[in-house]
Amino acid sequence: MEDSTAVDARGGTRMSEISAGTTYPLGSSITPEGVNFSVHSKSCSSMELLLFDDVDDAEPARVITLDPQRHRTFHYWHLLIEGLKAGQVYAFRADGPYLPEHGFRYDVDKVLLDPYGCAVAVPKRFDREAGARPGENTRTAMKSVVADLSTYDWEGDTPLYRPFAKTIIYEMHVRGFTADESSGVAPEARGTYRGLIEKIPYLKELGVTAVELLPVFQFDPQEAPPGLSNYWGYNPVSFFAPHCEYASTDCPLGVLNEFRDMVKALHRADIEVLLDVVYNHTAEGNELGPTFCFKGLENPAYYILQQDQLGGLKRNRYANFSGCGNTLNGNHAIVRRMILSSLRYWVEEMHVDGFRFDLASVLSRDIEGNPQANPPILWDIETDPVLSGTKLIAEAWDAAGLYQVGNFFGDHWKEWNGQFRDDVRAFVKGDAGHAGTMAKRFLASPDIYGHRNREPEQSINFVTSHDGFTMNDLVSYNEKHNEANNEGNQDGHNENISWNCGVEGPADDPEIERLREKQIKNLFTINLLAFGVPMMVMGDEIRRSQNGNNNAYCQDNETSWLDWTLLKKHAGLHRFVTLLIKYRRELPDRDDPRLSLAEVIARSRVRWHGARIDRPDWNPDSHSVALTIETTQKWSHLIFNAFWEPIEFEVPEIPDNFGNWQRVIDTDRKSPRDIGPGAALETHNRYVVQPRSCVVLNANRINGA
């Protein structure tokens, strides 16, 4: 150890034991001697470590100026402070050139988070704009917190590693799931990881096998229109720290424990935890945005910068392939390392089971923003042994028009199938020309994925997601109604492929309500029975509504929260979805994950029909599809009638060693007769399918026959 002098910002100095420390690991790490700090900054001229007694302090308790001769190795600044412990609040300040035309935006006044910090403390007076204005922001800035990850008792917990073929995903928002008083959780636990734990029995009963959590990385809630707050969380300030406002405790280290308690509890219920992760941009925004961390440490490394076309100056503007003001430079060596370290951290230390990558196509762009055939960061993720057993799901497009569905990089990745969403919506709505595309989507989109001979689970099938209408609103609104977002209803998608069934918004007419519920059951039936991996959205099973808002990213209120009174109001639909999920999970081996799509279809023998057996109607004016899936033990016959009149369909003759056809599903029938073990059909060779209805029939091989 060597003696160094650290300035006490409150007026004095004191001696403490400070040594050079080490470059690895990055971030703050507990050692037997104290805490080691390491941060990357290639171009800064000086680095300060700030230690705070409290996150709300107007100035640091100690300011330690790092000596570049002793505390810098190559581009890494590092030191070890004896006696520091977990819970220490800290931050950095970096000085260097302010030359935007060359990409440098150093500001010695700004307090900077640790890019590798595992816990974040948010001051009561946090102010996003203070990070963008000239001058210091010490009191109002987020700070990092030293964490000791070794003390948590996982009690033998490990990730579940369930195959995709047996997976049913429930996309949900941690806060929105229990924030409403109707959730019935303890008041102090509403909208938290702890509150989610209280509702695990509901998820278990519903039958989903994985929750996909909207972003839980620490984010900036103030990045929203005036008077509103960011609810979705797609604006991270840290890639390692769980969002502290989702915890029932004010202690930053308690946030870590509460998140891990949630993961452990979900695993005990045999439910996997997937995280919606945002590695395409940060909350620092464009050149007018605040400095929280990355801008102030090494702006040209962390972001893709581009030429100012007006002035001819270079690197003073941010590429915006994310649509959020900036684009993370994912294929820069420093950023690649950070992303990979982040993913490993969430798997090894937090035990999550997988990830859904927001705007994943951004990660295929090089440091100049051009698409690459073999992106280094995607290769890193694809081949990393720590990630080899995790679920990797790509949203295979970005905001600048790069669309890679069916052609996303590598073999490990699965993809959100946006074409499934659009074609199924259009078919059920009754649009012309979608009978053929509906058939392809039901068979895991062989026209999109067949050229690579991928398994059916390559396609993540969904009809709704957080982005867009809820299922209820999809059948209740023709137009978006985003006025509450204070953006003049200009935000959100204009093309929703929705139909209000005759009345815009809530309806008193019982026939319209009956039609809407039937359409919802039709959408669920197709989504949950199609080949591929089904994903559903929180509350669709009880008709959660956002009042026609299809971009509720800034609605942290009853618009987005789950109203649990709907569970009683729509008990019939909830029952239908629960039994449909149970039926899906009991399907035979056509979902064997070892089989390619071609092998699955070949093994099962799929026959397509129209109203007449073996005579499918693919004409543009056709609105119905029927198919039979035949195995040695079971035949399933499915009929999808999106026409507005009843149609009499022929039903196939079954082998002598099979029992009679039994109705499993008829979405036209009222609950509880719409789904469940049915009696044998009275008429064996015909079935009249009512307008806008789905029917599923089963016939099983007789034992010993």
Residues with catalytic function:
358, 395
Peptide bond into 510 cis (omega under 30): no
Amino acid at site 445: S
Q: In terms of C-beta density within 10 A (0-12 exposed, 13-18 middle, 19 or more buried), how is residue 156 classed?
A: exposed
Query: For tokens 């938290």, what's the residue?
Result: 192
Cβ atoms of residues 304 and 322 within 8 Å = no
The secondary structure of residue 371, as a DSSP letter, is B
- Write the CB contacts of 490 (distance below 8 Å, at least 6 apart in sequence): none
E-strand spans in 226-318?
A: 272-277, 305-306, 317-318
**Residue 676: CB atoms within 10 Å:** 14
Distance between start and end Cα atoms, the chain: 82
Give the span between the Cα atoms of 122 and 136, in whole angstroms.
16
**Residue 702: CB atoms within 10 Å:** 11
Give the span between the Cα atoms of 457 and 148, in whole angstroms.
38
Give the span between the Cα atoms of 58 and 55, in whole angstroms.
9
Element of type H or E holding 196: helix 193-198
Give the span between the Cα atoms of 562 and 545, in whole angstroms.
9
Phi, psi (degrees; rounded to nearest 5) at 513: -65, -35
Cβ atoms of residues 305 and 315 within 8 Å = yes
The runs of H, that is alpha helices, within 349-417 are 376-383
Angle at 281 between CA 280 and CA 283, to 5 degrees: 155
The runs of H, that is alpha helices, within 292-374 are 294-302, 333-348
Give the span between the Cα atoms of 85 and 116, in whole angstroms.
17
Give the span between the Cα atoms of 349 and 171, in whole angstroms.
23
Give the span between the Cα atoms of 134 and 380, in whole angstroms.
39
Q: What DSSP string describes 9-47?
A: TTTEEEEEEEE---S-SSEEEE-SSEEEEEEE-SS-SEE
Provide the token pair at 498. 């929705």
Give the span between the Cα atoms of 415 and 403, in whole angstroms.
11
SS3 state at 651: coil
Give the span between the Cα atoms of 589 and 631, in whole angstroms.
9
Please choose, from the candidates 49, 53, 42, the residue with its C-alpha nearest in 3D space to the C-alpha of residue 78: 49
Task: Give 86's Cβ-side CA count (13 Å radius).
Answer: 16
Give the span between the Cα atoms of 666 and 669, in whole angstroms.
6
